[in-house]
Structure 1
Amino acid sequence: MIEIARGSIAANGLRSLKVRDVAEAADCSIGSVYNEFGDFDGLILTVNRETVRALTARLVAVPADDPVRQLHGLAESYLTFATDHANLLRSLFEHRMEGDRPFPEDILLMVMQAFALMHEPLVRLLPDRDPEEVALLARMMFSAVHGIISLGLEERMVAVPPEKLRQQLAQFVDTHLAGLGIPLGKARDGEV
């Protein structure tokens, strides 16, 4: 059932996923899906957890020897993942729990841990800044990277054209670091 749901979301997006289709493809009853996952949200959340784990594995694999290169690598890895798994990543941010129930804490924590990977290199680059400010800067930077990528892949009106995303994403990271007081020449060379 998980494989079927993941395949459906990956191919056609979250909105196309129907419990009846999953049950049919798995050759089981709709009740079996609910028995296994509690409700349809449970199945979607299981797929979303796997997506966050896969994304985090890609991000954790970025070399951390140089903080500037690490930030560029994180942005690039996020773009590659989003390009390869656009609908799965979109599902993570589009899914709304039935009946306005709160999102499960474990998924929120997993997403925050993935976002926090930008925190450590910023701490190294900004050792004298207030830790709360650096944490906020890391979340803001990840949010901006996510927004640039999401809009670019969606090709919305204000989006960066997909063929320019890599270049513009690298330019954004450099510009953001320069705005934080890290000179661009040093940022590009990995020196601080």
Structure 2
Amino acid sequence: MARRSDHTRPELRELILAEAHRLMAEVGYAHFSAREVAKRIGYSIGTIYNVFGSLDLLVVAVNSRTVGLWAATARARLNEAGANRIAALVEGYFDFAERNQNLWMAIYDHHMPEGETFSSDYVEQLGELIGIVETEIVGLLPQLGSGEAGTLTRSLLATVHGHCVFALNGTFALLGVHDPRHVALARVREALAAASGNVPP
């Protein structure tokens, strides 16, 4: 295994991040540790903290990479969606979560300590993902102001997220709901119809 002198700082950062992302995918947030990442790459845990600053910032970097992959997946879905673009986004949400459960849940399981902020890269990646959805909503409802469109976008994301969580943790099956994707899409379409003025609020 190469040591410190064999890697530039950017190379070392990528080495750590790539392995941390693989580990998160394997074990999930609850079992993730910087010590295991260090062990896998043959460096000390101090090296990881020297490069990233803290375990929290390493997790944020991992989550940022996951969000970037998610955004790329969403764009690819839309490129193949034809006219059924909202359905493609909802299906894509479920598919990404199902195929990357540990990475996906880490985004929501991790919380920054009080007084600390997320990295600008993470905020940018998250904004890009939300922007993909918001662009589609604005295309459907051009009469909405930017503030209204942004609020609706985040509300719809929360709706789909809740349905997805219930699907993955078995709650919907317990409650007798066997097609959560269809149900989630129906709620999204109802909300869009209400926002368009086609149905009473």
TM-score (ref. length: structure 2)? 0.77
CA distance in 2, matches of 1:86, 1:118: 21
Aligned to 2:101: 86
Aligned to 1:97: 112
Q: 1:49 aligns with which of 36, 61, 64?
A: 64
Query: 1:7–1:159: structure 2 CA closer, same or farther, 3 Å change rule?
Result: farther
Report matched runs for 1:31-180 at 5 Å.
31-63=46-78, 69-98=84-113, 100-156=115-171, 163-180=178-195
Shift of 1:23: 1.6
Instruction: Tell me the amino acid that sits aligned with residue 27 of structure 1.
Output: G
Shift of 1:91: 0.9
Query: 1:97–1:79: structure 2 CA closer, same or farther, 3 Å change rule?
Result: same
Instruction: Tell me the amino acid that sits aligned with residue 80 of structure 1.
Output: D
Structure 2 contact 17–58 (Cα < 8 Å) conserved: yes
CA distance in 1, matches of 2:175, 2:83: 23
Aligned to 2:5: none
Instruction: Tell me the amino acid that sits aligned with residue 67 of structure 2.
Output: V
How far does the alpha carbon of each residue in 1:121-167 deviate from its partner, in whole angstroms, 9 at most, with x for none? Answer: 22222222333222211221122112221232123479877852222
CA distance in 2, matches of 1:65, 1:150: 26
Query: 1:32–1:69: structure 2 CA closer, same or farther, 3 Å change rule?
Result: same
Instruction: Tell me the amino acid that sits aligned with residue 63 of structure 2.
Output: N
Query: 1:129–1:25: structure 2 CA closer, same or farther, 3 Å change rule?
Result: closer
The root-mean-square deviation of aligned C-alpha atoms, in Å, is 2.9
TM-score (ref. length: structure 1)? 0.80
Helix, strand or coil at the partner of 1:87: helix
Instruction: Tell me the amino acid that sits aligned with residue 59 of structure 2.
Output: I
How far does the alpha carbon of each residue in 1:38-78 deviate from its partner, in whole angstroms, 9 at most, with x for none? Answer: 22223212211110110000112233698962111111111
Instruction: Tell me the amino acid that sits aligned with residue 87 of structure 2.
Output: H
Query: 1:176–1:159: structure 2 CA closer, same or farther, 3 Å change rule?
Result: farther
CA distance in 1, matches of 2:18, 2:143: 47
Structure 1 contact 68–121 (Cα < 8 Å) conserved: no
- Greater displacement, 6-15 / 83-92: 6-15
- Percent identity, please: 26
Q: 1:15 aligns with which of 15, 19, 30?
A: 30
Structure 2 unmatched runs, 5+: 1-15
